[in-house]
Structure 1
Amino acid sequence: MKMQWNMLVKARLKELGITQEKLSERLGITQGAVAHWLNKRREPSLEQISQILKAVGLDKLTLHSDGTLEYPDSVISNVTQIDIQPFDKRRFPVLSSVQAGAWTEAVEPYSTIEADEWYITTERTSDRCFWLRVQGDSMTSATGVSFPEDTLVLVDTFRDAENGSLVVAKLTDVNEATFKKLVIDAGQKFLKPLNPAYPTLPINGNCKIIGVVVDAKLKLI
């Protein structure tokens, strides 16, 4: 089946929780240009379309010269054309807090080939994910959602962080990544532990959000 590339990309952005602003940052172009292209007010070149598709993980589809994409019928059977079926199971590596912190500084993300542990997720994610093992009890809560020590959390570095998102961040004065809840209040951002015994940290240009937690695993044995 053939579908217009911009329809698939918009559906893909919604699926991954990625804004046009975030996509424009990844592509190194203005948000206005992305909006014009996705809404068909202007036509990008095939090379530019290819770059957009690669940025959202659709680069394995066949792009035709008329701007349509060859999309297998089996993938979108019984759903509307702009829907995308869930991915198959994906495996991502476990990084240490130091390796995760270095993610923001490396020219290329940490080489997953060197990772010793890999775990599967069935969540819809980008290709730029890793698992992080929770250290300490700052994210342990007596009520509601809780992440005890040794819980594995899956960090999607391509997902936009919003108020209430569980995020992994790198503070400028430490060489490790930290796992906290992002709180935005009156324009001010904070990193809030779920454990009330720990202090809430204001963000004043002193940290970099690495990614958003989209899955978690805890071994019972």
Structure 2
Amino acid sequence: MKKQITIGPAVLRRRRELGWSMQRLCDETGGQIYTGYVSDIEKENSNPSVDKAYAIAAAFGTSIDKLIEESLSPNTALAPSEHSKRAPVVPWEMAAEWAQNPDIQRLPSGTPWEVPLDSQTPRGFFLRVRDESMHAPAGPAFPTGALIFVDPSQEPQVNDFLVGYTTDSTAPTFKKLVQDGSQSYLRALNPQFPVQQIDGNFQAIGVVIGMVMRTSRGIIR
């Protein structure tokens, strides 16, 4: 009798290697599966549909074929997972808190993770651009919907793009740091937005060192 193809053993092994709970795996798939479903897969009581298997493989940073291969040969070494190098897309209101204390347990359910631009930035995280203030008509531009990668370990320098706040840590802003004489300002790349003067009360959360942008049917997602 032909052996049934399964990904259960590989799912269980990878989840344990990463120290993930079943709920964490469900969250990493964007809520496409639930814990009881994961349990059935790992116990080989159920095989996921192709779309669910793809979501699980993507959460681990691998492929369905690799999960099948690992399940059939459980003693082989695991292929490196991209996920260990990924960074979360943090809500804006959590940016300051996350920069100081990156606790995965506090992230909202279904938080997406992306491969960062710099794997040497272990505390780096993404924010999704939410307005047109940094979308310039020419030169560098950060359109609404794009993901900016923030490095909280860098000390801001003049002309850096940075994220920070003055009074409310849950309402940070994203601007370019400029200087005129001894006075520092936050300047939007979009000329329709005003320049903001800053003082010693301003707190930098991190320096923006790059951007990731995914498109679908002409829309930035």
1:118 paired residue number: 113
2:154 paired residue number: 159
* CA deviation map 1:67-122 (0-9, x unaligned): xxxxxxxxxxxxxxxxxxxxx98211111110013346xxx514134441110024
- The Cα RMSD (Å) is 2.1
1:132 paired residue number: 127
Q: 2:163, 2:206 within 8 Å by CA — same for their partners in 1? A: yes
d(CA) in 1 for partners of 2:154, 2:84: 18
Paired positions, count: 131
Alignment of 1:63-142 (within 5 A): 90-103=85-98, 108-115=100-107, 116-123=111-118, 125-142=120-137
- Alpha carbons of structure 1 residues 125 and 200: separation in structure 2 relative to 1, 3 Å: farther
Alignment of 1:42-53 (within 5 A): none
TM-score by length of 2: 0.54
Q: 2:102, 2:123 within 8 Å by CA — same for their partners in 1? A: no
Q: Does 1:218 align with 2:218?
A: no
Q: Does 1:171 align with 2:166?
A: yes
Q: 1:91, 1:118 within 8 Å by CA — same for their partners in 2? A: yes
Point out the structure with max Rg over C-alpha. Answer: 2
- Alpha carbons of structure 1 residues 110 and 121: separation in structure 2 relative to 1, 3 Å: closer
d(CA) in 1 for partners of 2:192, 2:144: 15
d(CA) in 1 for partners of 2:115, 2:105: 16
Percentage identity across aligned positions? 32
Which of the pair is proportionally richer in strand?
A: 1
Q: 1:163, 1:182 within 8 Å by CA — same for their partners in 2? A: yes
Q: 1:99, 1:110 within 8 Å by CA — same for their partners in 2? A: no
Instruction: Please state how far the C-alpha of 1:173 moved relative to its aligned partner.
Output: 4.4
Q: Which runs of 4+ in 1 moved over 3 A?
A: 101-104
Q: 2:154, 2:206 within 8 Å by CA — same for their partners in 1? A: yes
d(CA) in 2 for partners of 1:207, 1:215: 22
d(CA) in 1 for partners of 2:96, 2:106: 16
Extract unaligned runs of 5+ from structure 1. Answer: 1-87
